[in-house]
Amino acid sequence: MDLTVEGKAFVNGSFNDCCIGITDGKISDIKKILKGDEHNDFGNKLILPAGIDLHVHFRDPGMTHKEDFSTGSMAAAFGGISCVFDMPNTIPQTTTLQNLNDKIISAGKKSHIDFGIYSIASDNNINDIEALAKKCSGFKIFLGTTTNTIHFNKKNLREILKDIGKTNKIVLIHAEDEPCLIKNKVKENNLSDHLHSRPAKCEEIAIKDILAASKGINSKIHICHLSSCEGLETLRGKPYNISCGVTPPHLLLSLEDNLPSQTLYKVNPPIRTRFDKESLFNSLKNGVVDIIESDHAPHTFDEKCVDFTVAPTGMPGVETMFPLFLYLAKKEALSLQRLILLMCATPAELIGIPKGKIEVGRDADFIVVDLKDHCRIKSENLHSKCGWSPFEGWPAIFPSHVFVRGEKLIEDHEIQVNQGYGRFVGA
């Protein structure tokens, strides 16, 4: 046994004082007492599964002045995330086997943590789905236009869901209806205008189209960044093969919060009302929502601090997501057990990787946290290249230690591995 880790570990749905044995990067044993070549005793600190983020935009390649796989993965590691899945709207977009292979190779040289890569499913590459599926982690469909995306014609939705279903890959969908967005477009001078340009009914229409197109199809479908009460209600009673995620901004922010720098909070889908926020959070605790996903989409501070009409959409979040909700769990806004399900176990199950639980046979990916050790988020202490956070000053609990496949990535809040440690987990 290479390593043993001792502490109050979350195993089989509850916390137990135990030792975790690790051999060749896998959890090989869980017992009261174990001996290994190296032993780490964390006393009364909590040992939790590491988080898995199914939705990041590391901007690599093509926009690496905002972020790249080295800085993005380091930020993820410090936030307790052991594995991320990167979206395909880069430059070039990940639509071909060549672009997909190039991205996997490049990310493998840079990433500190394990990773997967999605491909775009577009009207132009429907005939390439089978070949792409042999290499990619899943597919992304954009039903509404957003940053550097290929809009997908919803008339082809059922056909492509059938094709992807045959590959057993997950398909993730940006659920905003393009004709609805075009119809409601107004000149945008602030967040309220942005909300009017992308009303909840656009999300509702898109979700109804997805439900109709997927009827009788056994493909795994994930609706990204659910943002509205209308979308939530449309998904109540959804089929078993359809999941949905919500981001921290949509769970924690609203227009009524009088957000200071309007352009910093410009995102698609938009920040909505307090009622939407509260509805989503209530469902998060025990409802329709399956996972929390960061939608980490960084832009530099200078890019964001321009006139609202030309400011780009998106905000960083991979490093602060788990810490924000660990603090909320400490304050009993939701249970720690539910949080682990939302951020660890269910994402691993949806994407089909042996992570997300402290369980024999799974990857030894876990974090160590002290719930008494909270701090205020400060951008200067974060690791994303973009250099700012929408949650500046918010209370959070960051892990002191992060293990990925049994290797200490973070020890006492310090990085221990070089870029390139991360492995591609996708195909």
pLDDT of residue 156: 92
Range(s) for CATH 2.30.40.10 in the chain?
A: 3-47+361-415
Nearest to 94 by CA among 30, 139, 46: 139
Range(s) for CATH 3.20.20.140 in the chain?
A: 50-351
Asked if the model's pLDDT at residue 425 lies above 80, the reply is yes
Position 140 confidence tier, pLDDT thresholds 50, 70, 90? very high
pLDDT 10s digits, 157-207: 999 999 999 999 999 999 999 999 999 999 999 999 999 999 999 999 999
Alpha carbon distances (Å) from 352 to 10, 139, 152, 355: 21, 14, 26, 9
pLDDT of residue 213: 96
pLDDT of residue 302: 97
CATH no. for 3-47+361-415: 2.30.40.10
Mean of the pLDDT values across residues 43-60?
A: 97
pLDDT 10s digits, 257-278: 988 889 999 999 999 999 999 9
Distance, in Å, from the CA atom of 157 to the CA atom of 123, rounded to the nearest integer, reads 9
pLDDT of residue 375: 97
pLDDT of residue 153: 86
Handedness of CA 415, 416, 419, 421 (dihedral sign): negative
Q: How many CB atoms lie within 10 A of CB 62?
A: 13
pLDDT 10s digits, 212-232: 999 999 899 999 999 999 999
Return mean pLDDT, the chain: 96
pLDDT 10s digits, 298-345: 999 999 999 999 999 999 999 999 999 999 999 999 999 999 999 999
What homologous superfamily is domain 50-351 in, according to CATH? Metal-dependent hydrolases (3.20.20.140)
Token duo for residue 239: 């089929």
**Active-site residues: which are they?**
295
The 3-state secondary structure of 229-256, one letter per residue: HHHHHHHCCCCCCEEEEECHHHHHCCHH
Mean of the pLDDT values across residues 120-144?
A: 93
